[in-house]
Amino acid sequence: MTPDLAAYARDGFLILEGYVSAQDCDALQARAAALVAAFDPGPVRTVFSARDQGHARDHYFQESGGAIRFFFEEAATDQPVPLALNKIGHALHDLDPVFDRFSRQPRLAALAHALGLARPLLLQSMYLFKQPRIGAEVGWHQDAAYLHTQPSTVTGFWIALDDADRHNGCLVELPGAHRGPLRERFLREDGRMITRRSDASPWPDVAPVALEARRGTLVVLHGLLPHASAPNRSSRARHAYALHLIDGRADYPADNWLQRPGLPLRGFA
């Protein structure tokens, strides 16, 4: 499958329908379910003392770039754990054999190269649950705000593991708006995570487009493309797997939130 590079340059995204087989979607969903079943939520959900909770939680997140960690939906109260999680992140692709194999398939390597990543490195992976009824909204953002390189190279592969539509919180984006500047960065400063505005321009005045995607669709997202997703108000889950790549030729700042001490970045090999 040759990607439509002209459309990608114009729009900042590409929709590759039927890219991932039903079998592979099943395998990723089954693997995520197994990881969740083996996860002991005690320390994350209940054990922290009230005073330490914020600090311990921050720590749990800050170290997740080189780990497999589980994050709850804020609205989760009495849901069982498999229906209460927001995501698993952020090194599934390095630390779990099923996600590793899937993420490093030669087809994805070829796609990354075709998109212009000469030395693609697999930086971040997330299993996104977008749970029925409580799956939270994700506000407008550029992925490069979280995964910054100089120059900007971050590229997302977002794969629908369930049908994603307007009712269960599909992606929404501003076509062509990837040609604007990076607006802000989420970074480490003195051991804390902060958001710093780097450009005051508003998002351009273009109509948002909902990227409804059937199960197995791969959406390529340019790192500077503003996108969001609505809350899931439906009774249907909207699972997705998101993999973020950068080009090893670009500089990866030491103040990026995602650091992986002891877990070197790898490409597709």
Provide the binding-site residues for Fe ion, judged by CB under 5 A: 143
Reduced to 3 states, what is the DSSP secondary structure of residue 114? helix
Determine contact, residues 139/191, Cβ cutoff 8 Å.
no
Residue type, 67: A
Shortest gap between Cβ of 227 and Fe ion (angstroms)?
Answer: 6
Shortest gap between Cβ of 12 and Fe ion (angstroms)?
Answer: 12
> Is the CB of 94 or the CB of 143 nearer to Fe ion?
143
Shortest gap between Cβ of 143 and Fe ion (angstroms)?
Answer: 5
Rounded Cα–Cα distance for residues 59 and 40 (Å): 17
> Is the CB of 11 or the CB of 143 nearer to Fe ion?
143
Backbone Cα Rg of the chain:
18
The region, left, alpha or beta by phi > 0 then psi within -120 to 50, assigned to residue 195 is beta
Shortest gap between Cβ of 229 and Fe ion (angstroms)?
Answer: 8
> Is the CB of 48 or the CB of 61 nearer to Fe ion?
61
> Is the CB of 24 or the CB of 143 nearer to Fe ion?
143
Which helix (H) or strand (E) segment holds residue 35: the answer is: helix 22-37
How many C-beta neighbours within 10 Å does residue 219 have?
24
In eight-state DSSP terms, residue 134 is: T
Which helix (H) or strand (E) segment holds residue 53: the answer is: helix 53-62
Residue type, 73: E
Shortest gap between Cβ of 138 and Fe ion (angstroms)?
Answer: 7
> Is the CB of 143 or the CB of 247 nearer to Fe ion?
143
Shortest gap between Cβ of 221 and Fe ion (angstroms)?
Answer: 7
> Is the CB of 36 or the CB of 154 nearer to Fe ion?
154
Reduced to 3 states, what is the DSSP secondary structure of residue 247? strand
Which residue has the CB atom at the shortest distance from Fe ion?
Answer: 143
Rounded Cα–Cα distance for residues 195 and 237 (Å): 30
